[in-house]
Amino acid sequence: MGGRTFRIAPSILSANFARLGEEFAAVVAAGVDLIHFDVMDNHYVPNLTVGPLVCEAIRPLTKSVIDVHLMVRPVDRIVPDFARAGANIISFHPEASEHVDRTVELIHDSGCKAGLALNPATPLSCLEHVLHKLDLVLIMSVNPGFGGQQFIPHALEKLHDARVKIDEARREIMLEVDGGVNAGNIAAIARAGADTFVAGSAIFGSKDYARTNRQMREAAKSVA
Ligand code: DX5
Ligand code: ZN
């Protein structure tokens, strides 16, 4: 486990949308590693958030990696728009794409890294035949659609199994966890194998973003 790089990724879903630019600047100044950008369409998931225009608007505010999490169907139509808007990583859910391999290719051809996001009930077998092309595996530890939900404990076992698969694949693939992550459970989640931690309410709901970022990072590192 030693030497693993840990990344903290605040989810803008929990930011104050009336002050999005300032919120961005504040988490970047807090020393986070990536910005997690949740895109919901009120179709694939029962909530509606922001699109490429907002990504484009915040792009000049930070050099940080923008990690776009698409919870939309269809997927392919919107991928090039996010690439043009400055996304660095684009993840999608296999259930939302007609042709998973084609979508991965499209994301790469658009100049971005590609991730596959697995819902709590979506099996890891979905990674078969595509893992060798992925840059990121996102394990959902809540059902997608809302911030502030409780971490589903079964995700720990799934992260562990995903870590084994990724290590066997012998290529650089981030293992990201999304939903209900906080300073209290991040150590157990890191121990299960995650290296990239999305945190919405845990960061934006705290008074001091830098302090929360530091606490989370230290707790994760404590198991390495
Ligand atoms: C859920 C989103 C998550 C969520 C995380 O559909 O993909 O990124 O906003 O928020 P917390 O950390 O509050 O669970
Ligand atoms: Zn997300």
Supply the pLDDT for residue 2. 52
Name residue, tokens 């530091």.
214
pLDDT in tens, the chain (224 residues): 457 899 999 999 999 999 999 999 999 999 999 999 999 999 999 999 999 999 999 999 989 999 999 999 999 999 999 999 999 999 999 999 999 999 999 999 999 999 999 999 999 999 999 999 999 999 999 999 999 999 999 999 999 999 999 999 999 999 999 999 999 999 999 999 999 999 999 999 999 999 999 999 999 999 87
> Catalytic annotation on 208?
no
Residue tagged active-site, from 41, 67, 135, 178: 178
Q: Which mutation among 8, 13, 152 tests ligand 1's pocket best, with the greatest number of atoms within 8 A of CB?
A: 13
Q: Where are the beta strands (DSSP E) in 93-181?
A: 113-118, 136-140, 174-178
Question: What sign for the dihedral angle of Cα 180, 185, 190, 196?
Answer: positive
Residue 1 in contact with residue 223, Cβ under 8 Å?
yes
Supply the pLDDT for residue 76. 98
Name residue, tokens 């076992």.
157
Q: How far apart are CA 114 and CA 210, in angstroms?
A: 28
Q: Is 66 helix (H, G, I), strand (E, B) or coil?
A: strand
- Atom of ligand 1 at shortest range from CA of 47: 6
Is the whole-model pTM more than 0.75?
yes
Cis bond upstream, residue 46 (ω within 30) = no
Distance 178 CA to ligand 2 centre (A): 6
Residue ID of nearest Cα to ligand 1 atom 4: 147
Distance 179 CA to ligand 1 centre (A): 5
Q: Which mutation among 42, 146, 182 tests ligand 1's pocket best, with the greatest number of atoms within 8 A of CB?
A: 146
Distances in Å between the Cα of 221 and the Cα atoms of 194, 196, 218 are 11, 12, 5
Supply the pLDDT for residue 4. 82
> Catalytic annotation on 178?
yes
